[in-house]
Protein backbone atom coordinates (compact mmCIF):
# COMPACT_ATOMS: atom_id res chain seq x y z
CA UNK A 1 0.00 0.00 0.00
CA UNK A 2 1.23 3.51 -0.81
CA UNK A 3 -0.08 6.78 0.59
CA UNK A 4 1.08 10.15 -0.70
CA UNK A 5 0.97 13.23 1.52
CA UNK A 6 0.64 16.64 -0.14
CA UNK A 7 1.36 19.48 2.27
CA UNK A 8 0.18 22.94 1.20
CA UNK A 9 1.40 25.04 4.10
CA UNK A 10 4.48 27.26 4.32
CA UNK A 11 6.68 24.85 6.26
CA UNK A 12 6.98 26.94 9.44
CA UNK A 13 8.62 25.26 12.40
CA UNK A 14 5.59 25.72 14.66
CA UNK A 15 3.07 24.63 12.03
CA UNK A 16 0.63 22.25 13.81
CA UNK A 17 -0.20 20.52 10.52
CA UNK A 18 3.40 19.28 10.23
CA UNK A 19 3.18 17.74 13.69
CA UNK A 20 -0.05 15.94 12.74
CA UNK A 21 1.46 14.67 9.48
CA UNK A 22 4.59 13.35 11.21
CA UNK A 23 2.46 11.43 13.72
CA UNK A 24 0.28 9.96 10.98
CA UNK A 25 3.36 9.04 8.97
CA UNK A 26 4.81 7.19 11.97
CA UNK A 27 1.62 5.16 12.44
CA UNK A 28 1.28 4.33 8.74
CA UNK A 29 4.92 3.23 8.46
CA UNK A 30 4.42 0.96 11.49
CA UNK A 31 1.58 -0.60 9.48
CA UNK A 32 4.10 -1.17 6.65
CA UNK A 33 2.63 1.48 4.40
CA UNK A 34 4.91 3.26 1.96
CA UNK A 35 4.53 6.98 2.65
CA UNK A 36 5.84 9.71 0.35
CA UNK A 37 5.58 13.35 1.36
CA UNK A 38 5.41 16.24 -1.12
CA UNK A 39 6.00 19.71 0.29
CA UNK A 40 4.28 21.94 -2.26
CA UNK A 41 6.12 25.09 -1.17
CA UNK A 42 9.41 23.38 -2.13
CA UNK A 43 8.05 22.27 -5.51
CA UNK A 44 6.01 25.35 -6.42
CA UNK A 45 7.58 25.54 -9.89
CA UNK A 46 6.68 21.93 -10.71
CA UNK A 47 3.19 21.70 -9.20
CA UNK A 48 1.59 21.09 -12.66
CA UNK A 49 3.57 17.83 -12.90
CA UNK A 50 2.61 16.49 -9.45
CA UNK A 51 -0.62 14.75 -10.61
CA UNK A 52 1.74 12.22 -12.20
CA UNK A 53 2.77 11.13 -8.68
CA UNK A 54 -0.76 9.82 -8.08
CA UNK A 55 -0.12 6.86 -10.38
CA UNK A 56 1.02 4.43 -7.71
CA UNK A 57 -0.97 5.85 -4.80
CA UNK A 58 -3.75 3.92 -3.09
CA UNK A 59 -4.58 6.89 -0.89
CA UNK A 60 -3.59 10.50 -0.38
CA UNK A 61 -3.57 12.98 2.46
CA UNK A 62 -4.22 16.57 1.48
CA UNK A 63 -2.99 18.73 4.34
CA UNK A 64 -2.83 22.47 4.78
CA UNK A 65 -2.74 25.14 7.44
CA UNK A 66 -5.24 27.97 7.68
CA UNK A 67 -3.36 31.10 8.69
CA UNK A 68 -5.78 33.64 7.26
CA UNK A 69 -8.51 32.56 4.86
CA UNK A 70 -8.93 29.54 2.61
CA UNK A 71 -6.80 26.48 1.91
CA UNK A 72 -3.87 28.46 0.51
CA UNK A 73 -2.44 29.01 -2.94
CA UNK A 74 -0.16 25.97 -3.18
CA UNK A 75 -2.93 23.50 -2.39
CA UNK A 76 -5.31 25.26 -4.79
CA UNK A 77 -2.68 25.07 -7.55
CA UNK A 78 -2.27 21.35 -6.93
CA UNK A 79 -6.02 20.75 -7.11
CA UNK A 80 -6.20 22.84 -10.29
CA UNK A 81 -3.44 20.70 -11.80
CA UNK A 82 -5.33 17.52 -10.87
CA UNK A 83 -8.43 18.87 -12.62
CA UNK A 84 -6.55 19.93 -15.74
CA UNK A 85 -3.91 17.22 -16.11
CA UNK A 86 -4.73 14.42 -13.67
CA UNK A 87 -5.77 10.93 -14.73
CA UNK A 88 -9.42 11.01 -13.65
CA UNK A 89 -9.76 7.25 -13.98
CA UNK A 90 -6.89 6.74 -11.54
CA UNK A 91 -8.16 9.44 -9.17
CA UNK A 92 -11.56 7.71 -9.03
CA UNK A 93 -9.88 4.80 -7.21
CA UNK A 94 -7.90 6.86 -4.71
CA UNK A 95 -9.08 7.54 -1.15
CA UNK A 96 -8.36 11.01 0.23
CA UNK A 97 -8.04 12.11 3.84
CA UNK A 98 -8.20 15.90 4.43
CA UNK A 99 -6.11 17.38 7.25
CA UNK A 100 -6.64 21.04 8.09
CA UNK A 101 -5.19 22.76 11.15
CA UNK A 102 -6.07 26.39 11.80
CA UNK A 103 -4.19 29.04 13.74
CA UNK A 104 -7.05 31.51 13.24
CA UNK A 105 -10.45 30.12 12.19
CA UNK A 106 -12.19 28.27 9.36
CA UNK A 107 -10.68 24.80 9.75
CA UNK A 108 -14.02 23.01 9.18
CA UNK A 109 -14.69 24.98 6.00
CA UNK A 110 -11.18 24.19 4.79
CA UNK A 111 -11.65 20.48 5.42
CA UNK A 112 -14.98 20.58 3.61
CA UNK A 113 -13.41 22.41 0.66
CA UNK A 114 -10.74 19.72 0.26
CA UNK A 115 -13.28 16.91 0.50
CA UNK A 116 -15.61 18.62 -1.98
CA UNK A 117 -12.79 19.26 -4.46
CA UNK A 118 -11.69 15.62 -4.32
CA UNK A 119 -15.24 14.38 -4.86
CA UNK A 120 -15.62 16.68 -7.87
CA UNK A 121 -12.40 15.19 -9.24
CA UNK A 122 -14.12 11.81 -8.87
CA UNK A 123 -12.05 10.56 -5.94
CA UNK A 124 -13.13 8.69 -2.83
CA UNK A 125 -13.46 10.68 0.42
CA UNK A 126 -12.35 9.59 3.88
CA UNK A 127 -13.12 11.08 7.26
CA UNK A 128 -10.44 13.64 7.87
CA UNK A 129 -9.14 15.71 10.72
CA UNK A 130 -9.40 19.41 11.52
CA UNK A 131 -8.78 21.56 14.56
CA UNK A 132 -7.88 24.96 15.92
CA UNK A 133 -4.36 24.92 17.30
CA UNK A 134 -3.02 28.32 18.33
CA UNK A 135 0.06 26.84 20.04
CA UNK A 136 1.67 23.69 18.65
CA UNK A 137 3.26 22.83 22.02
CA UNK A 138 -0.22 22.27 23.48
CA UNK A 139 -0.86 19.72 20.74
CA UNK A 140 2.43 17.95 21.35
CA UNK A 141 1.86 17.66 25.10
CA UNK A 142 -1.74 16.46 24.97
CA UNK A 143 -1.99 12.67 24.92
CA UNK A 144 -5.67 12.71 23.98
CA UNK A 145 -4.98 14.80 20.88
CA UNK A 146 -2.17 12.46 19.84
CA UNK A 147 -4.43 9.42 20.20
CA UNK A 148 -7.03 11.12 17.97
CA UNK A 149 -4.36 11.65 15.31
CA UNK A 150 -3.14 8.06 15.55
CA UNK A 151 -6.70 6.76 15.40
CA UNK A 152 -7.33 8.80 12.26
CA UNK A 153 -4.26 7.25 10.60
CA UNK A 154 -5.47 3.76 11.53
CA UNK A 155 -8.93 4.50 10.10
CA UNK A 156 -7.38 5.69 6.85
CA UNK A 157 -5.35 2.48 6.60
CA UNK A 158 -8.41 0.37 7.37
CA UNK A 159 -10.55 2.19 4.80
CA UNK A 160 -8.00 1.74 2.02
CA UNK A 161 -7.10 -1.83 2.95
CA UNK A 162 -10.73 -2.95 3.01
CA UNK A 163 -11.65 -0.80 -0.02
CA UNK A 164 -14.71 0.46 1.76
CA UNK A 165 -17.40 1.62 -0.67
CA UNK A 166 -18.76 5.18 -0.68
CA UNK A 167 -22.27 6.30 -1.46
CA UNK A 168 -22.65 8.39 -4.65
CA UNK A 169 -22.19 12.12 -4.12
CA UNK A 170 -23.94 14.94 -5.94
CA UNK A 171 -20.53 16.57 -6.43
CA UNK A 172 -19.62 13.82 -8.88
CA UNK A 173 -22.81 14.45 -10.80
CA UNK A 174 -21.90 18.13 -10.97
CA UNK A 175 -18.48 17.16 -12.33
CA UNK A 176 -20.08 15.17 -15.12
CA UNK A 177 -22.30 18.11 -16.06
CA UNK A 178 -19.53 20.69 -15.93
CA UNK A 179 -17.01 18.55 -17.77
CA UNK A 180 -19.25 17.97 -20.78
CA UNK A 181 -18.61 21.29 -22.52
CA UNK A 182 -14.92 21.57 -21.66
CA UNK A 183 -13.85 17.96 -21.86
CA UNK A 184 -10.63 17.22 -23.73
CA UNK A 185 -10.17 13.55 -24.47
CA UNK A 186 -6.52 13.17 -23.50
CA UNK A 187 -5.11 9.77 -22.71
CA UNK A 188 -3.27 9.49 -19.39
CA UNK A 189 0.01 9.50 -21.34
CA UNK A 190 -0.95 12.68 -23.22
CA UNK A 191 -2.01 14.34 -19.97
CA UNK A 192 1.34 13.48 -18.42
CA UNK A 193 3.21 14.94 -21.37
CA UNK A 194 1.05 18.07 -21.26
CA UNK A 195 1.75 18.63 -17.57
CA UNK A 196 5.49 18.27 -18.25
CA UNK A 197 5.29 20.90 -20.98
CA UNK A 198 3.36 23.29 -18.74
CA UNK A 199 6.15 23.25 -16.16
CA UNK A 200 8.91 23.60 -18.76
CA UNK A 201 9.64 27.33 -19.00
CA UNK A 202 11.95 26.82 -21.98
CA UNK A 203 9.25 25.00 -23.91
CA UNK A 204 6.64 27.66 -23.11
CA UNK A 205 8.99 30.46 -24.18
CA UNK A 206 9.81 28.64 -27.41
CA UNK A 207 6.11 28.25 -28.16
CA UNK A 208 5.56 31.98 -27.63
CA UNK A 209 8.40 32.79 -30.02
CA UNK A 210 6.98 30.40 -32.62
CA UNK A 211 3.56 32.03 -32.34
CA UNK A 212 5.08 35.48 -32.78
CA UNK A 213 7.03 34.29 -35.82
CA UNK A 214 3.90 32.78 -37.39
CA UNK A 215 1.92 35.95 -36.66
CA UNK A 216 4.60 38.02 -38.37
CA UNK A 217 4.64 35.63 -41.34
CA UNK A 218 0.88 35.79 -41.83
CA UNK A 219 0.92 39.55 -41.38
CA UNK A 220 3.51 39.79 -44.14
CA UNK A 221 1.48 37.48 -46.40
CA UNK A 222 -1.73 39.42 -45.85
CA UNK A 223 -0.04 42.76 -46.41
CA UNK A 224 2.09 41.70 -49.36
CA UNK A 225 -0.17 43.54 -51.78
CA UNK A 226 0.17 46.77 -49.83
CA UNK A 227 3.06 49.12 -50.54
CA UNK A 228 5.42 49.54 -47.59
CA UNK A 229 5.76 53.10 -46.29
CA UNK A 230 9.50 53.72 -46.43
CA UNK A 231 9.34 57.37 -45.35
CA UNK A 232 7.56 57.20 -42.00
CA UNK A 233 9.71 58.58 -39.15
CA UNK A 234 12.68 59.20 -41.45
CA UNK A 235 12.19 62.95 -41.87
CA UNK A 236 11.50 63.46 -38.14
CA UNK A 237 14.75 61.69 -37.31
CA UNK A 238 16.72 63.87 -39.72
CA UNK A 239 15.17 67.05 -38.34
CA UNK A 240 16.06 66.24 -34.74
CA UNK A 241 19.58 64.95 -35.38
CA UNK A 242 22.15 66.72 -33.17
CA UNK A 243 25.68 65.64 -34.21
CA UNK A 244 28.06 64.70 -31.42
CA UNK A 245 31.77 64.94 -32.18
CA UNK A 246 33.48 61.57 -32.35
CA UNK A 247 30.28 59.56 -32.00
CA UNK A 248 29.72 56.75 -34.49
CA UNK A 249 27.26 53.86 -34.17
CA UNK A 250 24.63 51.93 -36.06
CA UNK A 251 21.11 51.28 -34.75
CA UNK A 252 18.65 48.75 -36.12
CA UNK A 253 15.07 49.59 -35.10
CA UNK A 254 12.70 46.66 -35.58
CA UNK A 255 9.14 48.00 -35.59
CA UNK A 256 6.59 45.20 -35.20
CA UNK A 257 4.20 46.58 -37.81
CA UNK A 258 6.96 47.11 -40.39
CA UNK A 259 8.28 44.46 -42.77
CA UNK A 260 11.78 45.93 -42.83
CA UNK A 261 13.81 47.43 -39.99
CA UNK A 262 14.66 51.11 -39.79
CA UNK A 263 18.44 51.63 -39.91
CA UNK A 264 19.91 54.68 -38.19
CA UNK A 265 23.61 54.95 -39.08
CA UNK A 266 25.56 57.78 -37.45
CA UNK A 267 29.17 58.79 -38.08
CA UNK A 268 29.99 62.12 -36.53
CA UNK A 269 27.99 64.75 -38.39
CA UNK A 270 26.77 62.19 -40.95
CA UNK A 271 23.34 60.56 -40.64
CA UNK A 272 21.97 57.79 -42.85
CA UNK A 273 18.38 56.79 -42.07
CA UNK A 274 16.57 54.25 -44.23
CA UNK A 275 14.42 51.11 -44.18
CA UNK A 276 16.22 47.88 -45.07
CA UNK A 277 18.93 45.52 -43.85
CA UNK A 278 21.95 47.35 -45.25
CA UNK A 279 24.39 48.75 -42.77
CA UNK A 280 26.16 47.58 -39.60
CA UNK A 281 24.13 47.67 -36.38
CA UNK A 282 25.79 47.95 -32.97
CA UNK A 283 22.43 48.03 -31.19
CA UNK A 284 19.15 46.33 -32.12
CA UNK A 285 15.94 47.85 -30.81
CA UNK A 286 12.54 46.13 -30.87
CA UNK A 287 9.24 47.88 -30.18
CA UNK A 288 5.81 48.50 -31.67
CA UNK A 289 4.86 51.42 -33.88
CA UNK A 290 2.93 53.26 -31.15
CA UNK A 291 5.90 53.19 -28.76
CA UNK A 292 8.27 54.46 -31.44
CA UNK A 293 5.79 57.17 -32.39
CA UNK A 294 5.79 58.34 -28.75
CA UNK A 295 9.58 58.63 -28.86
CA UNK A 296 9.62 60.50 -32.17
CA UNK A 297 6.90 62.90 -30.98
CA UNK A 298 8.93 63.74 -27.86
CA UNK A 299 6.53 62.17 -25.34
CA UNK A 300 9.30 59.91 -24.08
CA UNK A 301 12.84 58.88 -25.00
CA UNK A 302 14.70 55.65 -25.72
CA UNK A 303 16.01 55.13 -22.19
CA UNK A 304 12.63 55.72 -20.56
CA UNK A 305 10.89 53.44 -23.04
CA UNK A 306 13.41 50.69 -22.31
CA UNK A 307 13.06 51.05 -18.54
CA UNK A 308 9.26 50.97 -18.83
CA UNK A 309 9.40 47.68 -20.71
CA UNK A 310 7.92 49.12 -23.91
CA UNK A 311 11.13 48.42 -25.80
CA UNK A 312 13.66 45.59 -25.99
CA UNK A 313 17.27 45.99 -27.01
CA UNK A 314 20.43 44.03 -27.74
CA UNK A 315 23.85 45.61 -27.56
CA UNK A 316 25.69 48.28 -25.57
CA UNK A 317 23.36 50.22 -23.26
CA UNK A 318 25.79 53.17 -23.29
CA UNK A 319 25.10 53.60 -27.00
CA UNK A 320 21.38 53.70 -26.26
CA UNK A 321 21.96 56.57 -23.83
CA UNK A 322 24.00 58.35 -26.49
CA UNK A 323 21.15 57.92 -28.97
CA UNK A 324 19.02 60.22 -26.82
CA UNK A 325 21.74 62.87 -27.19
CA UNK A 326 22.03 62.73 -30.97
CA UNK A 327 18.25 62.40 -31.51
CA UNK A 328 16.67 65.02 -29.27
CA UNK A 329 13.00 64.73 -30.20
CA UNK A 330 11.90 66.66 -27.13
CA UNK A 331 13.97 69.70 -28.07
CA UNK A 332 12.19 72.73 -29.49
Instruction: Tell me the average pLDDT across 66-87.
Output: 90
pLDDT at position 134 is 83
Q: Is the pLDDT of residue 274 over 90?
A: yes
| Residue of 48, 49, 61, 47 lying closest to 2 (CA atoms) | 61
Q: Candidates 3.40.50.720, 3.90.1310.10, 3.40.50.300, 3.30.1050.10; correct CATH number of 234-326?
A: 3.30.1050.10
Superfamily in which the 2-183 domain is placed by CATH? Flavodoxin domain (3.40.50.360)
Q: Is the pLDDT of residue 330 over 80?
A: no
Least reliable range by pLDDT among 26-30, 179-183, 190-194:
179-183
pLDDT at position 308 is 87
Check: CB of residue 51 under 8 Å from CB of residue 82.
Answer: yes
Check: CB of residue 98 under 8 Å from CB of residue 64.
Answer: no
Instruction: Tell me the average pLDDT across 14-23.
Output: 92
The H-assigned helical ranges of 48-163 are: 73-85, 88-91, 107-120, 136-140, 143-161
Instruction: Give the C-alpha separation, 226 to 247, whole Å.
Output: 37
The rounded mean pLDDT for the chain is: 85
DSSP summary character for residue 120: H
The total number of residues written for the chain in this structure: 332
Least reliable range by pLDDT among 7-16, 93-102, 192-201:
192-201
Instruction: Give the C-alpha separation, 165 to 159, whole Å.
Output: 9
Q: Where are the domains of the chain?
A: 2-183, 234-326
Instruction: Report if pTM > 0.85.
Output: no
pLDDT per position as a tens digit, 122-132:
899 898 999 99
Amino acid sequence: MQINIYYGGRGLMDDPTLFVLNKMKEVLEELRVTVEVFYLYEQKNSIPTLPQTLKNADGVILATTLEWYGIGGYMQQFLDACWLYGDKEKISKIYMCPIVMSTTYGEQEGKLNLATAWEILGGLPCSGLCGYIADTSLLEQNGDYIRIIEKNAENLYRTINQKMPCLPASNQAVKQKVAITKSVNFTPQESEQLSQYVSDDTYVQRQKEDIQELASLFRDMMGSSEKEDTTEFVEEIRQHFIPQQGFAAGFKVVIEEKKQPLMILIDGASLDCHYGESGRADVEIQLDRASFADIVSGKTDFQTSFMAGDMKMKGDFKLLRSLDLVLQFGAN
